């Protein structure tokens, strides 16, 4: 399998209450965060943006092949994953999050390499589950029993595997509040607003 056979879905449906605005509205430098992510991933397969009611068409949405909207607002990332799976035209779906701007193409390709016959994969880094990025098989995944991303790992034949030790710590940077934005700016030198 190669990336042309895998849809890349980026979840951008959150309200960003701690951030003070929806994360899909952030800009890195002079470009929308969504455009920044697509350029960073340089994905050669289908791309999908997952938003929620009332937050459709954020800046950069036009760069995706498809935008889909969660049926209900405020149900969290599992709903975004389910919405993406329902709308994916490929058997496999890689799910990334708008608030992890330092994840790289390397992680996505590694997930494709490791999925084999599993229903899905999540990464564990330093004994902590990292839900994003992850890869899920559309037909094998089924529906999780709760709204927790951890619930996906309970689906039969879903695996959690350790991240390679050479991956940099920065890829797990998560933008949740203004302090995270300041730390990201210090780390990268990119102005973020």
- The three-class DSSP label of residue 7 is strand
pTM: 0.93
Higher-confidence position of 174 and 147: 174
List strand residue ranges (DSSP E) for the chain, in order: 6-11, 27-28, 31-32, 47-51, 66-69, 92-97, 120-125, 128-137, 158-162
Higher-confidence position of 192 and 157: 157
Nearest to 95 by CA among 144, 54, 53: 144
The CATH classification number of 3-188 equals: 3.90.550.10
Q: Read off the pLDDT band of 181 (50, 70, 90).
A: confident
Domains of the chain by residue range: 3-188
Nearest to 9 by CA among 34, 31, 36: 34
- The predicted structure's pLDDT at residue 142: 65
pLDDT digits (tens, 9 = 90+) for 48-94: 999 999 889 999 999 999 999 998 877 788 889 989 999 999 999 99
* Whether pLDDT at 184 is above 90: no
pLDDT digits (tens, 9 = 90+) for 24-36: 999 998 999 999 9
- The predicted structure's pLDDT at residue 65: 98
Handedness of CA 148, 82, 24, 4 (dihedral sign): positive
């Amino acid at each position: 399998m190669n990336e042309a056979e895998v849809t890349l879905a980026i979840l951008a449906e959150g309200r960003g209450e701690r951030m003070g605005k929806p994360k899909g509205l952030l800009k890195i430098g002079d470009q929308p965060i969504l455009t920044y992510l697509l350029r960073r991933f340089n994905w050669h397969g289908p791309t999908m943006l997952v938003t929620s009611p009332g937050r459709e068409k954020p800046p950069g949405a036009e760069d995706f092949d498809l935008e889909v909207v969660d049926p209900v607002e405020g149900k969290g990332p599992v709903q975004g994953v389910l919405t993406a799976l329902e709308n994916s035209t490929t058997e496999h779906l890689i799910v990334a999050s708008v608030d992890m701007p330092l994840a790289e193409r390397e992680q996505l390709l590694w997930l494709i390499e490791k999925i084999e016959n599993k229903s899905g994969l999540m990464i564990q880094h330093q004994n902590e589950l990292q839900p994003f990025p992850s890869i899920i098989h559309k037909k094998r995944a089924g529906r999780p029993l709760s709204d927790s991303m951890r619930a996906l790992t309970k689906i039969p034949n879903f695996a959690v595997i350790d991240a390679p030790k050479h991956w940099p710590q920065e890829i797990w940077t998560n933008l949740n509040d203004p302090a995270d934005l300041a730390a990201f700016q210090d780390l990268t030198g990119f102005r973020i607003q």
